[in-house]
């Protein structure tokens, strides 16, 4: 399946690329990970499945990612959250299932909190969180910083780390880390007011399963499901992983219906 050309919306001076297919509600909204784009394996699998179901599907690239404008190094959780809310409000109607991958799970949890605060909480009917990395700047990056990385953050404002997934290194900026502290969600119980399904690989080298277990412990027990995937890595893009993701999304849609 070849993705159509993207549409664009301007948010805070950046052109944000998106793809939206109209269809039945609850629709599905994809929120990608750090340095990933909207044309990955999981997103394309969801696009094909929602099309076969006649269901609305929305995905976008954060600024500095994929086909969107802006510099990656200017990105923060607050900026990418603002873009995600703007796209969500402009292109969805009725209840939606948010599917957040890695950092996208953090964005999804923050979106739900912001929508609740604005009296729009009923727009989110459920959350599917894949290899979730909420609070990753404070919980996973900061504790492991080397002296050299701390020095780079102070002197250059960023440090680089090789990426397994791309020839380009990951860049972590001081702005991203400082802004991350303003968006933390894992310091207290998380009241999503909707069902949550977490899918976590047990062989994930980037986000340890203990992080998903900690997140699970903060969610209301009666409305949260955790699926642990033996041999599943951070990408969760094998056929059986994609099938589990689609099953989880379908179940939340049925519950909302």
What tens digit of pLDDT does each residue of 79-117 get?
999 999 999 999 999 999 999 999 999 999 999 999 999
**pLDDT tier at 225 (50, 70, 90 boundaries)?**
very high
Could you give the CA distance from residue 249 to residue 243 in angstroms, rounded to a whole number? 10
CATH architecture, range 7-135+188-256: 3-Layer(aba) Sandwich (3.40)
**pLDDT, average across residues 3-20:** 95
Q: At residue 257, does pLDDT exceed 90?
A: no
Question: Residues 13-50: pLDDT tens digits?
Answer: 999 999 999 999 999 999 999 999 999 999 999 999 99
1 falls in which pLDDT band (50, 70, 90)? very low
- What pLDDT is stored for residue 2 in this prediction? 54
Mean pLDDT value of segment 54-80: 97
pLDDT digits (tens, 9 = 90+) for 134-176: 999 999 999 999 999 999 999 999 999 888 877 888 899 999 9
42-81: b or e for each residue (b if 16 or more CB lie within 10 Å)?
A: bbbbbbebbeebebbbbbbbbbbbbbbebebeebbbebbb
Q: What is the pLDDT of residue 220?
A: 85
Cα–Cα separations (whole angstroms), residue 242 to 5, 74, 224? 24, 32, 20
pLDDT score at 5:
93
pLDDT at 224 over 50: yes
Q: Tens of pLDDT along 170-200?
A: 899 999 999 999 999 999 999 999 999 999 9
């Amino acid at each position: 399946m070849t993705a159509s050309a993207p549409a664009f919306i301007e948010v805070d001076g950046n052109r944000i690329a998106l793809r939206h297919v109209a269809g039945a509600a609850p629709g599905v909204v994809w929120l990608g990970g750090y340095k990933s784009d909207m044309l990955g394996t999981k997103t394309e699998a969801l696009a094909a499945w929602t099309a076969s179901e006649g269901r609305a599907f929305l995905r976008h690239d954060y600024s500095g990612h994929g086909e969107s404008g802006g510099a990656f190094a200017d990105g923060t959780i607050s900026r990418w959250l603002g873009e995600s809310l703007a796209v969500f409000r402009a292109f969805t109607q009725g209840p939606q299932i948010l599917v957040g991958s890695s950092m996208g799970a953090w964005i999804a949890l923050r979106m739900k909190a912001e929508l609740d605060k604005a009296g729009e909480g009923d727009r989110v009917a459920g959350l599917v969180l894949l290899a979730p990395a909420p609070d990753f700047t404070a919980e996973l990056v900061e504790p492991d910083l080397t002296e050299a990385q701390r020095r780079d953050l102070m002197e250059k404002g960023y440090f680089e780390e090789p990426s397994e997934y791309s020839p380009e290194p990951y860049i972590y900026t001081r702005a991203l880390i400082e802004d991350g502290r303003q968006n933390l969600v894992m310091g207290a119980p998380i009241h999503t007011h909707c069902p949550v399904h977490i899918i976590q690989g047990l062989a994930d080298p980037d986000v340890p399963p203990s992080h998903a277990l900690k997140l699970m412990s903060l969610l209301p027990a009666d409305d949260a499901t955790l699926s642990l995937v033996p041999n599943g890595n951070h990408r969760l893009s094998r056929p059986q992983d994609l099938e589990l993701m689609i099953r989880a999304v379908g179940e939340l849609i049925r519950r909302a219906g």
